[in-house]
């Protein structure tokens, strides 16, 4: 049994129940799909709509949210996982977001121990008093670290591009998680598309495969167009929704955030689920 499966089956008395903070995990089957840019810009767009948002950079050893936002943390997730710092000591407030920064180039964090995961989740409980929504920026793929976080989230948002490899790998994520939790909800964000038509094609490809082979329905959240303004914003280490709010992708993020607000409002996080890893 994998570490992720083991953690998922832990009794609620061990990890604890934490129903007030709503949690979405943003993930992807493969790297290079712009996932972290989606996390940052969506988070800022949501905070601008009066939602208190915290962001966990959960690519623990190869995080880059700090780079995108131009921050240099004195302490990061590695200090928390070594039990030498608390959540409050590593939190950074930036662009109206509460950021939990990851480390950079720390291989030992690529596969957390069971103790480290439980320690992390217990610290994250403190966010209940600081935020309404936690966005978890996972690493790409289906490692134990990633699957454990997807299990802990109330919903999973998959960032998918028009590349066939992105679609196939995203399907693999849905398959692995569904085998552990058949009721987990997935939403698709089509990223780096030319237009709405291409975004619809991306969603249809993955949703048809998931329906056919897994008998599961996916939700379509929206799309983000290819836009040179995003590249410019990255150079300035600023979110494109702040640097170029009127740009094509800036307006796409605004629409996306409104769709997310609607879904977050409908989340039933108080519902009890047995054998659920939660924080």
Helix, strand, coil share of the chain (percent; to 5): 50, 20, 35
Count of positions (residues) in the chain = 279
Adjacency order of strands within the sheet including 219-225: 92-94, 97-100, 53-58, 133-138, 22-27, 155-160, 185-193, 219-225
173: nearest Cα among 27, 11, 12: 27
Q: Give whichever of 75-89, 135-149, 235-249 has the largest mean pLDDT.
A: 235-249
Q: Which residues of 189-203 are buried (b: 16+ CB within 10 A; e: fewer)?
A: bbbbbeeeebbeebb
pLDDT classification of 175: cutoffs 50, 70, 90: very high
Work out the burial of residue 214: count CB atoms within 10 Å of its CB; fewer than 13 is exposed, 13-18 middle, 19 or more buried: middle
Residue 216: both structure tokens together: 């599961």
| Gap between the Cα atoms of 210 and 247, Å rounded | 33
pLDDT digits (tens, 9 = 90+) for 41-76: 999 999 999 999 999 998 876 778 988 999 999 999
Is CATH 3.50.50.60 the classification given to domain 23-266? no
**26 neighbors 257 (Cβ within 8 angstroms):** no
Residue 255 has pLDDT above 70, yes or no: yes
| Domain residue limits, the chain | 23-266
pLDDT digits (tens, 9 = 90+) for 10-41: 433 333 344 579 999 999 999 999 999 999 99
pLDDT classification of 6: cutoffs 50, 70, 90: very low
**What is the predicted pLDDT for the residue at 63?**
76
- Given its phi and psi angles, is residue 163 left (phi above 0), alpha (psi -120 to 50 degrees) or beta? beta
φ and ψ at 239, to 5 degrees? Answer: -65, 140
């Amino acid at each position: 049994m994998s570490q992720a499966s083991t953690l998922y089956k832990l009794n609620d008395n061990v990890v604890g129940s934490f129903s007030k903070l709503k949690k979405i995990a943003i993930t992807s089957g493969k790297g290079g799909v712009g996932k972290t840019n989606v996390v940052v810009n969506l988070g800022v767009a949501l905070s601008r709509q009066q939602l208190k948002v915290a962001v966990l950079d959960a690519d623990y050893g190869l995080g880059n949210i700090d780079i995108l936002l131009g921050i240099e943390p004195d302490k990061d997730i590695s200090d928390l996982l070594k039990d030498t710092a608390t959540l409050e000591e590593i939190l950074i407030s930036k662009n109206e977001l509460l950021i939990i920064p990851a480390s950079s180039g720390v291989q030992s964090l690529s596969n957390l121990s069971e103790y480290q995961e439980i320690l992390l989740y217990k610290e994250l409980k403190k966010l209940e008093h600081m935020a309404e929504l936690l966005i978890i920026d996972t690493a790409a793929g289906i490692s134990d670290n990633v699957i454990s976080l997807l299990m802990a989230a109330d919903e999973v948002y998959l960032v998918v591009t028009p590349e066939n490899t992105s679609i196939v790998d995203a399907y693999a994520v849905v398959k692995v998680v569904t085998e552990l939790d058949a009721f987990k909800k997935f939403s698709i964000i089509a990223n780096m598309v030319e237009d709405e038509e291409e975004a619809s094609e991306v969603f249809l490809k993955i949703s048809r495969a998931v329906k056919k082979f897994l008998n599961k329905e996916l939700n379509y959240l929206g799309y983000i167009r290819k836009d040179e303004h995003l590249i410019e914003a990255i150079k300035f280490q600023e979110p494109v929704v702040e640097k170029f709010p009127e740009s094509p992708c800036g307006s796409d993020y605004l629409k996306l955030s409104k769709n997310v607000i609607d879904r977050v409002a409908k989340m039933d996080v108080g519902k009890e689920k047995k054998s659920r890893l939660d924080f």
